Chain A
């Protein structure tokens, strides 16, 4: 158990819908990262937040947005969902400084029908 929690574990929805994925980092970690992993694909970095502010952006679609709240939990919002958005979405957290080693949550499996 990494200490990072993600809800829900599974989500099934229809095309065109909007969903929100939630992540709580490890106690004391200020950074939160979001990743997408499609079937048999590598991890695609989406976005990073540090202490409430966006710090880095990767291959995140305009239909996707995220935020980090004052209590440091983060939400990833996915809208106008398409079949291709079906994937595992991981959240990770780290203590900044040094190696920024990331600890991953168990993931949310999103299925778009």
Chain B
């Protein structure tokens, strides 16, 4: 089975840094995706981690610890448009498990 845990909701201020954590227990694991989803829209790909460590991509970074079943998404220099849900998705070849997502509210 699978168990994915993310905070339900977070609030941060424009220009700040926020870290969204995800812990997971899945039967089989090959890597972990992060997706962004604005309300009523399709998810869009942000990052994919296979190996332990930090992957940086512009204002967004993602970290993975396979031994701990833990990942986080770090968003820097927050902008109002970053208000969205962030979905953690552990991946086991051909099976994708999405967490319920963390709704991030960015306020001025």
Contact = CB atoms under 8 A, between A and B. Distances in A.
A18 interface: no
A103 B96 CA distance: 13
A99 to B, nearest CB: 5
Contact of A45 (B40, B43, B95): B95
Q: Is the interface of B mostly helix, strand, loop or mixed?
A: loop
Interface of B: 31, 33, 40-45, 48, 50, 87, 89, 91, 93-101
30 contacts: A2-B44, A33-B96, A41-B100, A42-B87, A42-B100, A43-B43, A43-B98, A45-B95, A45-B96, A45-B97, A56-B94, A56-B95, A58-B95, A58-B96, A90-B42, A90-B43, A100-B91, A100-B93, A101-B33, A101-B45, A101-B48, A102-B33, A102-B45, A104-B42, A104-B43, A104-B44, A105-B42, A106-B41, A106-B42, A107-B41
